[in-house]
Amino acid sequence: MPEPAGTPGPAAPATFEVDFEPAGRRVRVESGTQLLEAARSAGVGLASVCGGDGTCGRCRVVVMEGALPDPSDADRRALSRTEIARGERLACRVPVASDLKVHIPKASMITDQRLQVTGPKRTVAVDPAVRVYHVAAEPPTLADARSDFDRILAAAATAHGIRRLAADPVVLSQLTTTVRRTGWEVGLLARGHDLVGVLPPGQHAVGVAVDLGTTKIAGYLIDLETGVELAGEGIMNPQIAYGEDVISRLAYAVRQPGGAETLARVVREGLDALVGTMCEQTGIGRDQVAEGCIVGNTAMHHLLLGLPGRQLSQAPFVASTSSPLDVRARDLGIRIAPDARIHVPPNIGGFVGADHVAMILGADLDRVEAVKIGVDIGTNTEIVLRRPSMGHLASTSCASGPAFEGAHIRDGMRAATGAIERVTMFASDRLPELRTIGDAPAVGICGSGIVDAVAELYRTGRIDHRGRFQTGAPGVRRGERGLETVLSPAETNGIGRDVVITQGDVNEIQLAKGAIEVGIRILLDATGTDPASVDEVVVAGAFGSYLDLDNSLAIGLLPRLPNAAYVQVGNAAGTGAKAALLSLRERARARQIAREAGYVELTTYPGFQRRFANAMLFPRPEP
């Protein structure tokens, strides 16, 4: 029944403007919108490890103007009384109820991240999936009115013996436009029997290789005819705004309406922008990019491709597929050659993905004649053991957590300007010597600095082998949350309050280092490998590149193996992605690695809990 004339309709929801400083971004949102969601809408990179669950304490902001809500239980757990009194809140616990001006501390921003893209150098015999065939055809006449495609196919058959090619309508459209612009001389981008694009004469085909990390994305532009790397670039994974580890992102994808689509969209947009940046740097047109290869862990793989992820977060952690895939780039929103494909190498299991396969490939760990261990340290750390006499590879993964990215650390942050990355302590009350990224005033501490600080606390006797602060030790004081020590005092740093290491921070590093150490120890045990037989430990990954190896050994982050050399190789997964981009033989090798890599599940291994508890302790100094 129609409403009587003049009856007012439902009132429009109230909206408010949120001003994010110092970014200077403003956005208008409906009343009740969580401040974290408003930041996402404004394109403000606000850290959130837990994806908005209120458990990580990373999305700290200061409400400068507007309605300041009472502190939530999550605020009281994460913030001190002083911080709450001066207007600090967790953005995921602030419903917008008025116009707001919000200050975001540097330590809460996802910006200015130091990114590691280089890895071990490998020479790969170029054998790409896409080849360029240069042809010249006679233009049509009234006496010869064959179609453009038939005319070019005939020229390709004459010049190169190609008898069969199929083309998608988007490629046919490009072909018709291009041949009339180039005088009927073109380069055909053929992927097997598929024509994926057309080039003007004289242009090389290029490809893009990507290591799609949980935190960072590394991209490489490669000449597919010469194998020369033309550009390398890194960006932050934009999915970070929805959770900093794979579990929180999978949870977001499952519990939020449209969550999976949102995560797929933002990472695809990030990849497309990364390709555009590298093309601009080199003067290469997007149409020249004829092939791609993307490696990532199994969760990143599923979230990129839009595959269901719920089962990955529940035992027995089963992937939708472990097979290699070839996906049309345009289906992923990546604008390159019209019908170009993205090759995605195989996964091994639910928590060991194509990035692990690529790391093994990139570091040649499947071909060594010595006993080697590869450790790719990150939010999820993958470990592989290669012993030639064993006849196969053995892999495992451990949830080392995001502590090495600064998460769950009182003043933790990523490796951005102002992050403390090196720490040297003294036996006296003298303040530590610090090195910060960019030599800027300290605003927090990143992963390599945290490892240094904990190692120095242990070396100088401020903490014992159980990780407990020692009351009365030089520089140890009691803070609001227990014993702590000051790294950078308020009057000399960039945030106006002391940057500290707390008992809770030490415990977080113990959890992370314990996970890695127990992973290595169980892998040795499960394969019957004598620790003394290990010749080399290869430390891979962006975080692994910046670790101080001596400090890592001192706290047991890497266990001391009596005869092993320890080598840092950088982004080996990126090197493997480049190899798979350039060579069909390397793709076949990747498939072989995935088939041969036996997986060891740590949590069901006998005595895991006891071993893990022991691995959390710091090694006692050798006599």
> What is 460-524 written as a DSSP string?
TTSB-TT--B-TTSTTEEEETTEEEEEEE-GGGSSSSS-EEEEHHHHHHHHHHHHHHHHHHHHHH
Q: pLDDT at position 622, please?
A: 65
Q: pLDDT at position 180, please?
A: 94
Neighbours of 261 (CB within 10 A): 12
Distances (CA, A) of 49 to 55, 260, 514: 8, 17, 20
At residue 476 the predicted structure's pLDDT band, cuts being 50, 70 and 90, is very high
User: Is the dihedral angle over the CA atoms 181, 183, 184, 187 positive or is it negative?
Assistant: negative
**What fold, for 130-199?**
Ubiquitin-like (UB roll) (3.10.20)
Percent of the chain clearing pLDDT 90 (strictly above): 62
Preceding peptide of 324 cis, ω within 30°: no
The answer on pLDDT for 606 being more than 80 is yes
The answer on pLDDT for 52 being more than 70 is yes
Q: pLDDT at position 24, please?
A: 62
> Comparing 15-108 with 130-199, is the CATH topology the same?
yes
Instruction: List the single range of 117-131, 294-308, 375-389 with lowest mean pLDDT.
Output: 117-131
Mean pLDDT of 587-607: 92
Q: Where are the domains of the chain?
A: 15-108, 130-199, 354-402+510-615, 403-505
At residue 110 the predicted structure's pLDDT band, cuts being 50, 70 and 90, is low
Q: pLDDT at position 21, please?
A: 78
At residue 561 the predicted structure's pLDDT band, cuts being 50, 70 and 90, is very high
The answer on pLDDT for 477 being more than 60 is yes
Residues 6+ apart with CB under 8 A from 142: none
Residue-wise pLDDT tens digits, 207-253? 999 999 888 899 999 999 999 999 999 888 888 778 767 888 898 89
Q: Which residues pair with 186 in a beta bridge?
A: 135
At residue 594 the predicted structure's pLDDT band, cuts being 50, 70 and 90, is very high
Kindly report the backbone phi and psi dihedral angles of residue 470, in degrees, each rounded to the nearest multiple of 5, phi listed first. Answer: -100, 115
What is the DSSP code string of 430-443? PPPEEEEGGGPPP-
Residues 6+ apart with CB under 8 A from 206: 221, 222, 223, 224, 230, 284, 288, 289, 290
Residue-wise pLDDT tens digits, 329-343? 999 999 999 999 999
The answer on pLDDT for 471 being more than 80 is yes
The answer on pLDDT for 483 being more than 80 is yes
Q: pLDDT at position 450, please?
A: 94
Q: 23 or 397: whose pLDDT is higher?
A: 397
Q: pLDDT at position 8, please?
A: 58
Residue-wise pLDDT tens digits, 490-527? 898 887 788 999 999 999 999 999 999 999 999 999 99
Q: Which residue do the tokens 């002083």 mark?
A: 82
User: Is the dihedral angle over the CA atoms 258, 263, 264, 269 positive or is it negative?
Assistant: positive
At residue 113 the predicted structure's pLDDT band, cuts being 50, 70 and 90, is low
> In the structure encoding, which two tokens stand for residue 379, read together?
């939010």
Q: pLDDT at position 394, please?
A: 93
Distances (CA, A) of 14 to 91, 237, 378, 426: 20, 33, 43, 57
Instruction: List the single range of 222-231, 294-303, 404-413, 539-548 with lowest mean pLDDT.
Output: 404-413
At residue 623 the predicted structure's pLDDT band, cuts being 50, 70 and 90, is low
Of residues 121, 112, 366, 300, the one with CA closest to residue 220 = 121
Q: Which residues of 566-578 are buried (b: 16+ CB within 10 A; e: fewer)?
A: beebbbbbbbbbb
The answer on pLDDT for 42 being more than 90 is no
Q: Which of 277-286, 363-372, 479-488 has the highest mean pLDDT?
A: 277-286
- CATH ID of 15-108, from 3.10.20.600, 3.30.200.20, 3.40.1190.20, 3.10.20.30: 3.10.20.30
Mean pLDDT of 297-318: 88
The answer on pLDDT for 1 being more than 50 is no
Instruction: List the single range of 6-10, 270-274, 483-487 with lowest mean pLDDT.
Output: 6-10
Give the mean pLDDT of the chain. 89
**CB-based contact 292:335 (threshold 8 Å):** no
Q: pLDDT at position 78, please?
A: 87
Distance of CA 128 to the CA centre of its chain: 26
Q: Is 354-402+510-615 a CATH 3.30.420.40 domain?
A: yes
Neighbours of 67 (CB within 10 A): 13
Q: pLDDT at position 542, please?
A: 75
Mean pLDDT of 95-112: 81
The answer on pLDDT for 2 being more than 60 is no
Neighbours of 69 (CB within 10 A): 14
Three-state DSSP class for residue 396: strand
Residue ranges in 183-255 assigned as alpha helix (H)? 246-255
DSSP 8-state assignment for residue 127? B
Q: 295 or 241: whose pLDDT is higher?
A: 295
The answer on pLDDT for 189 being more than 90 is yes
